[in-house]
Structure 1
Amino acid sequence: MATVEITREHSLGKEVAKERAQQMADKLAAKLGAECTWNEDELTFQRSGVDGSILVGADSVRVAVKLGMMLTPMAGMVKGEIEKALNRYLV
């Protein structure tokens, strides 16, 4: 099992960052069929072989994704896609 973790600073404020995290989650849900739920400032998502969370702070966002054994070889690609999404949504 592989874990991908990325922390990115932002200057959007917590509420705007949460809105952007929701937009990322909506896209993820549509693309991968993941189920997404909020608990306070943490959005968790899950689908077969993938568990993760997006923790939104006042000036940073932390994304953590655990990949199952079958998806572990794709960890580098997953990290790249997360970085692209963070660049797109947190600007």
Structure 2
Amino acid sequence: MADISIVQEHRLTPNKAREAAQKVADKISAEYGLECAWQGDVLHFERSGVHGSLAVEARQVEMNIRLGFLMSAFAPAIEAKVTEKMKAVFGAA
């Protein structure tokens, strides 16, 4: 098992931050085949071997990913890609 935690600051309004979170979710779900669902201001995602959440807060977003045994070998590459996508989407503000 491997855990990934990424915090990205932003200067977006709550609605814009949620839209940006959805963009990140759309990108990672297409790339990794994840199912996504909102629960309040937290976007939950999962697939076999991967589950996690993306919490949208006033000045930051926090993504937590738990990888199963087989996926844990790819943790560094997954963390780098997700960090890059979050910076591109949330850091642009």
TM-score (norm 2): 0.92
Displacement of 1:30 after TM fit?
1.8
Deviations along 1:33-63, one digit per CA (max 9) or x if unpaired, are: 2100000000000011100110000100000
Task: Tell me the matched-pair count.
Answer: 91
SS in 2 for 1:23: helix
Does residue 84 (structure 1) correspond to residue 84 (structure 2)? The answer is yes
Residues of 1 paired with 2:75 and 2:81: CA distance? Answer: 10
1:26 maps to a residue whose letter is: D
Residue 70 of structure 2: aligned partner: 70
Identify which range, 26-35 or 39-48, moves more after superposition: 26-35
Identity %: 36
RMSD over equivalenced CA pairs, Å = 0.9
Residue 54 of structure 1 corresponds to: 54
Map 1:16-55 onto structure 2 (within 5 A): 16-55=16-55
CA distance in 2 between counterparts of 1:48 and 1:37 reads: 16
**AA matched with 2:75:** A
5+ residue gaps, structure 1: none
Task: Tell me the residue number matched to 1:9.
Answer: 9
